[in-house]
Structure 1
């Protein structure tokens, strides 16, 4: 087990936080579907974001928060809920947020890497094989996979699921800031945490998970509608799914430990020295952050329980 986990997260274990994103997407979809977004929903959203940040996936936390802010900005009916979710999640996650916020108050000093060089390169990231590519631009789904996402995740979902339409504008904005230097003004704005995102190509991650979810919902609705006479369609889908799987399996070899040694981003082993010394200021910051997180959690649980009793 230990070896497999190490292989899965070698180098950047924080990116394993990707597998927590479906829980985040589920809560957002429940909201736009009309589920009450009271204290119970806020508690669930804040806990998901807390787990993401505790796992070390700070980048994912910022992407998720950014998506909520954009959704609240463009959809006034969600503004109050989104602001509550952002503020409360920040307070609940203060144990991990406060130390770096104080440490990098004057900026992170990171160098801006830039986004996709063009819209064409963004398209190529989805459909073109790149045996020695940069992992910040690795979104390969294959030609069939891209067609599947475009048709079911965008075209079909937009036409048949009007309730999900409010999510497309935040998705488009995050795609927009992944191109070229469009994010550079925000990166250089000295707004806390914005300069931590030196590779805006990663902004596509959260929108992509939403599109995958939309596509899955729409194709499932087709499966439900098909009867026994539609056996030809089922066979076509079976073969199409097989070809998509084949493309993904072949491409996955690019990121195997054997082949990745030839990557443009491969590096030598980095020696790390652990400094064992007393740091009272850091310990105090952790205590304050922990106290804030515990207090926020108690308040959220109390309000959620009260809400449940009132609705019972």
Structure 2
């Protein structure tokens, strides 16, 4: 990802970028790559590097992992404005945006359990029909609940039936008056760059909130980027396809669209992207083995 200095033009607004880890495990070398690319981008342009804690899933977030995030990033030489934005402090903002989508008639409560959904899909596939799947390989939700009457929905919610709130994707797409796209200044997994045409429909009826998680990643990250005036989203290419959903939500909620810069990933010897479950690649583990910040940055393919 080449760096071009834009600060010579006083009319060019200094950028704001963010690194937004979830405190549900230790940072690994892949996180170091993304954090440093954001930090270097901001520093080269006299912009702002923000650290955001994505702890919307309070059942998995742990304070010790948040502390480790701060420690690892500071050890690598990064700094950021305080205090950081924590998603768990902003549930009301996400609920307000969900309310806007409800007013537009674009949300519905989804009552099918995972087992019921799996059974429906298996039954269909046994007949030889192909069940649609999203870019991550997950099957689309059947969507039967879209046809429930408002009174039936209210009755089942009042009865305490478990449910998630899903976006009625077809209704959202039917309301578009123009095609959606985004400005890609990095590249996708296949080298895509320039104007990218968004295709949110390939994700099906995405979840935007659960009973135990007040906002999904898609909704919370879209709202947070707007609130924090993020100009450039620099993140891994594994989130390239998800940008289509984020562009749709930005359009529906009247939020600005940042520029996007997706970067390649750090992978293991088998070509798999790194995971928090593999402790051997965590920054903390490598530090304990005597690695220096320069060693970590070399593994993360960062040029200093």
Q: TM-score when scaled to structure 2? A: 0.29
- Normalized against structure 1, the TM-score is what? 0.29
> Which of the two has higher C-alpha Rg?
1
Structure (1 or 2) with the greater helix fraction: 1
